[in-house]
Amino acid sequence: MEDGQAPTDRRVGIIGGSGWLGAAFARGFLAKGVVRPENLILSNRAGAGPIPEAVWTADNQALVEGCDIVLLSVRLEHLPHVAIAVGDKPLVSLMAGVDVATLMRHTGARKVVRTMPNAAATIGQCYTPWYATAEVSADDRALVQRLFACCGAADEVPSEDQIDYFCGFTGAGAGYPALLARAMIAHAEARGIDPAVARRAATSVVAGASRLLAAPGAAPGDIIEALAGYRGTTAALIETAGAEGFDHAVAAGLAAAEARARELSALTARAL
């Protein structure tokens, strides 16, 4: 198999399996050979969806009863309508804004994992931090790590507080490069650059050149120092962006995202 191991014998269920995130991970599990099609159960309101090789159901409780581990991937506003009793099976939430205590109370789960993936799961480039309660076994943790590695990279973090922080850090996903690309495109167009050319150039810079960060041993600080060392146009850009508050703007955005994550958790807890 692609991850160097035989497929798991555990049955994996995804509530919300036709949503963009649930479907992305379902496809990743199958593509990497980690879960066999007959052991992948997906649910939605129609009881059918875009991954025909998997098993589909419209009954979320039937999914819970037929699986060994349950992934919850629904929109926040739909959570009140998900009536399940999970019990001793691991419940893995892919949702922002729902804390462990609320998940336990709403689903009856006693073993909970909170994760914070992002839209890059659809292209196999997602980073997923995850936190597990003490009741989650070592075998279950190993499976969680293996499942999320199907769509990129994953790390266990030591506290639920860090998942709230990562809601903005990793959960925003494509928001960061899109924000930068939009600003670059707008500036180029204001200088008379053809919009199509500006977009191609920005995409190449943001999505292409950023791959240097993924090179073995690469570090952002080292790359910045090396480029600035030439004392040319790149140095002028880096120094001016810093002086104009680039780092502060990023930090403020991260802080706002974390605060919103905590606010959503509080609102959801009161609503359920």
Note whether 72 and 91 are within 8 A (CB).
yes
Query: 241-252: buried (b, 16+ CB within 10 Å) or exposed (e) per residue?
Result: eeeeeeeeeeee
Binding residue ranges? 15-21, 60
Binding residue ranges for NADPH? 60
Under DSSP, the state recorded for 204 is: I
Q: Can you spell out the DSSP letters for 73-105?
A: ---GGGGGG-----TTSEEEE--TT--HHHHHH
Please count the residues of the chain.
272
> Rounded to an integer, what distance in angstroms lies between the CA atom of residue 28 and that of residue 34?
8
Binding residue ranges for NADP(+)? 15-21
